[in-house]
């Protein structure tokens, strides 16, 4: 099994046939494996967390659980838009350390459907010649004339954790002046 948290730079997770939750970011469609999705909720109050990257909007309190929240639009470098009534949070259950799972929330512009893709529907991630960062893309699914980009939330979360750890190590220690 591919472990995105410990993947080597050249390794890549390949999309598997199955059911995907299709979400939108702008006019683009993205697929998240439905088995990763725990629930879909409306936008709720978000608590910002200091010194986080721009795409980390903060955390939410979901029935007593604190869940980190990432804006996928910002994470993917898409133009920022004002939140609207179709925005929602997809709460996913991801692999954590030592076999434990953890919750991870992503803000999307909307939820379209649950789609089933068979092996013939899924193409490998195209080679963009290194011009585009494709490490979070597991494949492209074709249905009719539409293409859905299949993404790996485990890999996105692992990259966020690695970035946070690097920034924490690079930051000077906080000294209290009291």
Domain count along the chain: 1
Q: How high is the pLDDT of residue 83?
A: 82
164 lies in some domain: no
71 lies in some domain: yes
For the stretch 61-87, pLDDT in tens is 999 999 999 999 999 989 988 888 999
43 lies in some domain: yes
pLDDT at 5 over 60: no
Q: How high is the pLDDT of residue 4?
A: 40
Residue 147, domain CATH = 2.40.50.180
pLDDT at 2 over 50: no
pLDDT at 35 over 70: yes
pLDDT at 57 over 90: yes
For the stretch 13-23, pLDDT in tens is 789 999 999 99
171 lies in some domain: no
Cβ atoms of 16 and 121 within 8 Å: the answer is no
Cβ atoms of 7 and 127 within 8 Å: the answer is no
Q: Which range of residues forms the domain containing residue 127?
A: 17-157
166 lies in some domain: no
101 lies in some domain: yes
Q: How high is the pLDDT of residue 134?
A: 83
176 lies in some domain: no
């Amino acid at each position: 099994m591919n472990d995105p948290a410990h993947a080597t730079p050249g390794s890549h997770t390949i999309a598997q046939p199955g059911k995907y939750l299709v979400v939108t970011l702008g006019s683009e469609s993205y697929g998240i494996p439905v088995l990763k999705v725990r629930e879909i909720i409306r936008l709720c109050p978000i608590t910002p967390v200091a010194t986080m990257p721009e795409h980390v909007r903060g955390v939410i309190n979901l029935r007593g659980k604190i869940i980190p929240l990432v804006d996928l639009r910002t994470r993917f470098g898409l133009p920022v838009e004002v939140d609207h009534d179709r925005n929602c949070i997809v709460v996913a259950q991801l692999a954590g350390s030592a076999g434990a799972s953890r919750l991870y929330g992503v803000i999307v512009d909307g939820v379209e459907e649950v789609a089933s893709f068979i092996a013939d529907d899924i193409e490998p991630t195209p080679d963009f010649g290194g011009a585009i960062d494709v490490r979070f893309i597991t494949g492209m699914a074709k249905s009719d004339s539409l293409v859905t980009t299949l993404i790996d939330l485990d890999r996105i979360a692992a990259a966020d954790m690695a970035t946070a750890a690097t920034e924490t190590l690079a930051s000077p220690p906080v000294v209290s002046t009291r």
